[in-house]
Chains A and B, each alone.
Chain A
Amino acid sequence: MSNAHSNLSVSKYAIATAVMLSSVGMVNAAGTLTIESWRSDDANIWSDVIIPAFNKSHPDTKVNFAPTPPTQYNSALQAKLQAGTAGDLITCRPFDTSLTLFTSGYLDSLNDVQGLNEFSDVAKSAWVTDDGKDQFCLPMASVIHGFIYNKEIFKELNLSVPKTRDEFFTVLDAIKSESRYSPLAMGTADQWESATMGFQNIGPNYWKGESGRKALLEGKAKLTDDAYVDTWKELAQWKPYLGRGFEAQKYSDSQNLFTLGRAAIYPAGSWDIQTFNNQADFEFGAFPPPVAKNGDSCYISDHTDIGIGINANSKNKEAAAELLNWMASQEFAELFANAVPGFFPLSNHKIAIKDPVAQEFISWRDQCESTIRNSYQILSRGTPNLENQLWNVSAQVINGTMTPEAAAQETQNGLEQWYAPQQ
């Protein structure tokens, strides 16, 4: 037995070595595509699932997924592009980071790529020039905001999923008064959760999704309008339902509080599904941000997060375009969505997602209208930076050190300082 085992491991090593050697050869061979990415978490998924699937229809093109850790990605990529050593395909961050790469001539225009027809304008908005003429990255995945809740706690306290804001606060009150659980698992120490999981999560219902976001861009709406002040007012009401000492509670603390079953509701991004699948041993579900009255139309933040483009200096542009076209296909959408639950394909294909909570999230696309985070397109280009300001004021509003009106005034003043349509 032990002999067989050692034989097996020897052959494993032999295969591994052979694979390694051949992959070294592959990198040098013509027809090899290298993908730059910050998603090092997905390296296995690419090598085990996505690349083999692509090679079934394109056996001659070898693909090499070469991720860099997320925090170093922007600077490492910049350096590689300048030195001419970057891969053929570049994973794109949304908006200005990638737009700068395009205007500096590092990314190709993708206007001729057929696959782009499979995507809606909202999906493409993160990687298009301001005038809408040039598309430079193909949308890959988005993340959706909402609330994840502990089904066992809801059952124990006999609660049902809230649909309206009144119901939402009734549920929070019930958890607070009838149990020892924290009603909401969120802290303000890292600041970004207050804006991303708070403001951008519940806000679209107030500013009516895309129409509100566009109005802000065109200067027709102001951050001091009721829609925004009311969003902050609701955030201010969250304070009593957060755990004790939430001011020093970090993102990972919130995740742990929820997975340990000490908190009932978690203001979420769909990317948390993977973490909770691995760590929580209870059943959890999700609900979209509650609306004002039953039957009101609902809006969700369906934020474009990952795209992919072609390096302008690539020597394999044809093969790269082929891969991009395949990545716009239903096959890729289905593979990716199921391999990485919580990152949703942006194409118009109907796909089957197996993870129940991810399914729940994506089903909201049929009932509600999608929008993206309002500070991401153009509005965070100047000084002061709107996104960073939103982190700061939203955290302060929840902490109770700033009024909703003051938060609105401060962000509006910031925008007026540099953004012409708001002046």
Chain B
Amino acid sequence: MTQHNHQDEKKPFPWHLVIFLAPALLIYITFSVYPLLDTLFLSLFNSQDGNSTFVGLQNFITLVTDDNWSHAFWNALLNNFKFFVIHMLLQNPIGLLLAILLSSPKLRLSGTYRTLIFMPTMLSVVIIGFVWQLLLSPIWGISEDFLYNIGLGQYFDAWLGKEGSALITLSFISVWQFVGIPMMLIYATLLNIPDDIVDAGTVDGANPLQTFWYIKLPLILPTIAMVSILTFVANFNAFELIYAVKGALAGPNFSTDLMGTFFYRTFFGFQLQQGSASMGAAVATLMFLIILVGVMLFLFFVQRRIQRFQF
């Protein structure tokens, strides 16, 4: 006790902490904080014709109300939500299911399956896009023959080329690619569940379904919540797959346009369209705000409850 008091009095300022943190802090400020603030600042200007004038919130008002911009903006936002919802409904439940199957002690070759399912995650999105375009192509693809062989030939269509199906097809491709991430995260958590808890449940007469529902699921809920927020952020930053498969104009007729492709067209320009840095910054700021609000809602409504559950 006396020793503790003694330490309190003479505790010097921990300069070594500052020194050790400084490089990381410097890099973080230079490459994360400064660009972010600069983007927010840039979105308050109008940079047309080489001159930059302060316009306040005008860019945002234009983006949300002007016919030229608002249509594209709301369309991209809506598509983003569709993209996200499909991922939440498919990617995470499938990831959970795969993790449970993999963690079953009766399954043989689970290491092989794990690697195979996780593999697409490591491949470049450009390659994924190319491979799936070839598979689904009405000209060269094997999907048409495949469907004919199992008697479903009449359902084949140019899915990537139709307004009604292009976005859904792309989100399926994305789900296929990234399902390995929730699987691995949930799998790791499942492995960490102490055997004694499960054993105790079994002794008390719980069947496997009850064991999962009442013991394992509550324990992996925090991981599922984390996976969901990762999915949310990743989906709102999604860009590569759409750009690789459909190009910056996100055809047909903008049916696959996400905030990312919309931002790219606005900021860098496309074909004969000149890019506008300030308008692009406004789009980027809105993307940032949407992600921020999403994450905050999540922390407020979901994360707090999960912690209460845990303790």
* A388 contact set on B, CB distance < 8 A: 249, 270-273
User: Contact at B272–A188, with CB atoms within 8 Å?
Assistant: no
| CB neighbours of B228 from chain A (8 A) | none
Q: In the complex the two chains form, is A417's CB within 8 Å of B253's CB? A: no
In the assembled complex, B274 has its CB within 8 A of some CB on chain A: yes
Which of A178-237 touch B at CB < 8 Å?
187-192
Number of A-B residue pairs at CB separation under 8 A = 101
Cβ of B252 and Cβ of A188 under 8 Å apart?
A: yes
B272 touches which of A244, A376, A392 (Cβ 8 Å): A376
Contact with A along B13-38 (1 / 0, CB 8 A): 00000000000000000000000000
B251 with A245: CB separation less than 8 A:
no
B41 at the interface (CB under 8 A from A): no
Residue A351 is within 8 A (CB to CB) of chain B in the complex: no
Most B Cβ at <10 Å: residue of A247, A376, A385: A247
Complex formed: what's the CA distance from A20 to B212 in Å? 69
Q: How many residues of A contact B (CB 8 A)?
A: 41
Selected contact of A375 from candidates B158, B163, B254, B272, CB within 8 Å: B272
Q: Which residues on B sit within 8 Å (CB–CB) of A3?
A: none
Partner of A191 from B50, B138, B247 at Cβ < 8 Å = B247
CB distance from A338 to the nearest CB of B (A): 30
Which residues of the other chain, A, contact B67 by a CB distance below 8 angstroms?
Answer: 417
Interface flags, B250-264, vs A, CB<8A=1, else 0: 011110000000000
Q: Write the B105-146 contact mask toward A (1 if CB under 8 angstroms, else 0).
A: 000000000000000000000000000010011111000000
Within 8 A of A (CB), among B152-169: 157-163
Q: In this assembly, does B68 line the interface, its C-beta being within 8 Å of a C-beta of chain A?
A: yes
Q: Which residue of A lies closest to B49 (CB)?
A: A103
Q: Closest Cβ of chain A: how far from B216's Cβ, in Å?
A: 43
A384 at the interface (CB under 8 A from B): yes
B138, A249: Cβ atoms closer than 8 Å: yes
Q: Is the CB of B251 within 8 A of A191?
A: yes
Does A248 contact B273, Cβ atoms closer than 8 Å?
A: no
| Contact partners of B133 in chain A: CB under 8 A | 248, 250
Chain B nearest CB: distance from A196 CB in Å?
10
Among B158, B163, B246: residue with most chain A CB under 10 A: B158
Docked CA distance A395–B252 (Å) = 8
Residue of A nearest to B266 (CB): A383
Q: Name the residue on B nearest A257 (C-beta).
A: B139
> Does B253 lie within 8 Å of A392, measured CB to CB?
yes
CA distance A88 to B246 in the complex (A): 37
Separation of A104 and B246 alpha carbons in the complex (Å): 33
* Contact call A190/B273, Cβ cutoff below 8 A: no
Digit string of B162-186 for contact with A (CB within 8 Å is 1, else 0)? Answer: 1100000000000000000000000
Does A411 make an interface contact (CB < 8 A)? no
In this assembly, does A381 line the interface, its C-beta being within 8 Å of a C-beta of chain B?
A: yes
List B contacts of A249 (CB < 8 A).
Answer: 137-139, 158, 161
Count chain B CB atoms within 10 A of each CB in A243, A253, A381 and give the residue with the most: A253
Q: Which residues of A contact B136 (CB under 8 A)?
A: 248
Taken together as a complex, chains A and B put the C-alpha atoms of A401 and B254 apart, in Å, by 13
| Interface residue? A95 (CB, 8 A) | yes
Residue from A97, A248, A383 in contact with B160 in the complex, judged by beta carbons closer than 8 Å: A248
Q: List 28 A-B contacts (CB under 8 A).
A: A95-B272, A187-B161, A188-B252, A189-B161, A189-B251, A189-B252, A190-B251, A191-B249, A192-B271, A243-B138, A244-B138, A244-B139, A245-B139, A245-B157, A245-B161, A246-B138, A247-B158, A249-B161, A383-B273, A387-B273, A388-B270, A391-B249, A391-B271, A392-B253, A392-B254, A396-B253, A401-B252, A414-B68
For the A-B complex with A104-B50, A385-B273 known, give 13 more contacts whose Cβ atoms are closer than 8 Å: A96-B272, A97-B274, A103-B50, A192-B271, A247-B158, A247-B161, A247-B252, A248-B160, A249-B138, A249-B158, A380-B273, A383-B273, A392-B251
* A-B complex: 3 closest residue pairs judged by Cβ atoms: A245-B138, A247-B161, A248-B161
